[in-house]
Amino acid sequence: MGSLNFFIYSLLREKKNISVFVFIFLVLAIFLFYIDYKNDNFSQKTTVLIVEDQKSENNIVYIKKVSLARPGYIVIHKIDGAGEPSKMLGVSKLLKAKTYNNLPIEISSLKEGKHELIAMVHFDNGDGYVDLSAKQKSDQLVILSRFEHVKLK
């Protein structure tokens, strides 16, 4: 510890070495920030799901944006008369923990007209299969987005 204090003192004593000290400090700080970013991927700590109302002639819905904190699936459900998710219409492939834009999900055929749908995030439990029967933990948020899909001719 004493030699470190002496080193810092000698650097600060000579003004020309201050810029070297600052440069070394900045390089070290940037390196540590980069390592932390690569290991923790802090930009992916939250999950975001955005779906807009849409019209289509086919059986595909588009997720405007989804940013997953960990691997999972997007499941599309029809909304029943009570406003609750009911019949599953489609599910994405297993998605990695990253951000996706305009993600297409094929759904089962709907009749022509307006349909209230819901997109839900289901995180993978590690087996690589979507588990719709798994109960949500009481301290875990349900991430969903309601939207309107109009099936055209």
> Do residues 77 and 52 lie in contact, with contact meaning Cβ atoms separated by under 8 Å?
no
Contacts of 132 (CB under 8 A, 6+ apart): 75, 88, 122
Tens digits of residue pLDDT in 96-112: 999 999 999 999 988 89
- Asked whether residue 27 falls in the same domain as residue 64, the answer is no
CATH code of the domain covering residue 65: 2.60.40
Q: Give 126's Cβ-side CA count (13 Å radius).
A: 0
99-106, strands of its sheet edge to edge: 48-50, 60-67, 99-106
Answer yes or no: do 62 and 86 share one domain.
yes
User: Do residue 8 and residue 58 come from a single domain?
Assistant: no
- Give the whole-angstrom CA distance, residue 12 versus residue 20: 10
Q: Examine the domain organization and report whether 119 and 133 are in the same domain.
A: yes
Q: Are residues 78 and 6 in the same domain?
A: no
Is residue 36's pLDDT more than 60?
A: no
Query: For residue 22, with 0-12 CB atoms within 10 Å meaning exposed, 13-18 middle and 19 or more buried, which class applies?
Result: exposed
DSSP 107: -
Which of the two residues, 49 and 28, has the higher pLDDT score? 49
Parent domain of 27: 2-40
Is residue 81's pLDDT more than 90?
Answer: no
pTM reported for the whole predicted model: 0.66
As a whole number, the mean pLDDT across the chain is 79
Number of domains forming the structure of the chain: 2
Residue 21 has pLDDT above 90, yes or no: no
CA distance 87 to 117: 10
